[in-house]
Amino acid sequence: MIDSLYAIIDAEVADHPLALTFQALNAGCAIVQLRAKRLDDVAFLEIAKRVRSACAHAKVPFVVNDRADIARLVGADGLHLGQDDLCIEDARRVVGDMQIGVSTHTLEQAAAADAEGADLIAFGPVFETRTKENPDPVVGLQTLEAVCQAVSHPVVAIGGITPENASEPLRAGARYIAVISALPRFLADAS
C-alpha cells in the first residue's frame, strides 16, 4: 500500500516537515506534495527547496500545492491545483509541461479537469476529514469508483484515509491514496 501513498506534507501542521518528508521517502511513498496555505513566500520557498532536494535524492516525484511560481522556482515535478486556484491553461504558462494535478469533488469537476489536461485527478473527500477548515461533502466510495471509470488519467483518493480504510479507495480504482493527518500512522505501520 505504501507504493500507492501520496504523502502530503503540510508545513504548517507537521512539527518537523522535513523529518516527516524523510520518513515518507524512507518508507517508499509514491509521491510527496508540500502544502503551506499560510506560510509567507520566503519561508515556503526555503522549505520547498529542501523537500525538493530530499525527493530528488530519493527519486520520488515532488509536487507543490497551489503555487505555480514556487513549483517552477524549485524545479518541482508537479503542481497541484484546487478548484479556486489557477486554471490548468494559465498554470501551464508558468510551469510548462510539468505534471498538474487538480482537486475535484464531483464527477463533473473530475471530468472537466480530465478534459482540460490534468495529469492527475484528486477526488474527495472519500471519507469524513478534519484536515480542511471547510471540507466539501463526503463523496463516498461509489462516487469515487464512478470517477475512476469516467476519467482517463490516474485518480488520487483523498479525505479521511487511514491505515484501516486505505485499501477501499484502491479497490474502487484509485491509483493513489493521499494522506495528510494520518501520515505518521501510515509511516509507523510501514516500519
37 catalytic? Reply is no
Instruction: Single out the catalytic residue among 4, 52, 67, 103.
Output: 103
| Residues in CB range of 137: below 8 A, 6 or more apart | 105, 125
Instruction: Single out the catalytic residue among 132, 167, 171, 185.
Output: 132
35 catalytic? Reply is yes
103 catalytic? Reply is yes
| Residues in CB range of 153: below 8 A, 6 or more apart | 114, 118, 119, 120, 121
Do 124 and 158 touch, CB atoms closer than 8 A? yes
| Residues in CB range of 68: below 8 A, 6 or more apart | 79, 86, 91, 94, 95
d(CA 35, CA 18): 12
The alpha-carbon radius of gyration of the chain (Å, integer) is: 15
Do 120 and 103 touch, CB atoms closer than 8 A? no
Q: Which residues are designated catalytic?
A: 35, 103, 132
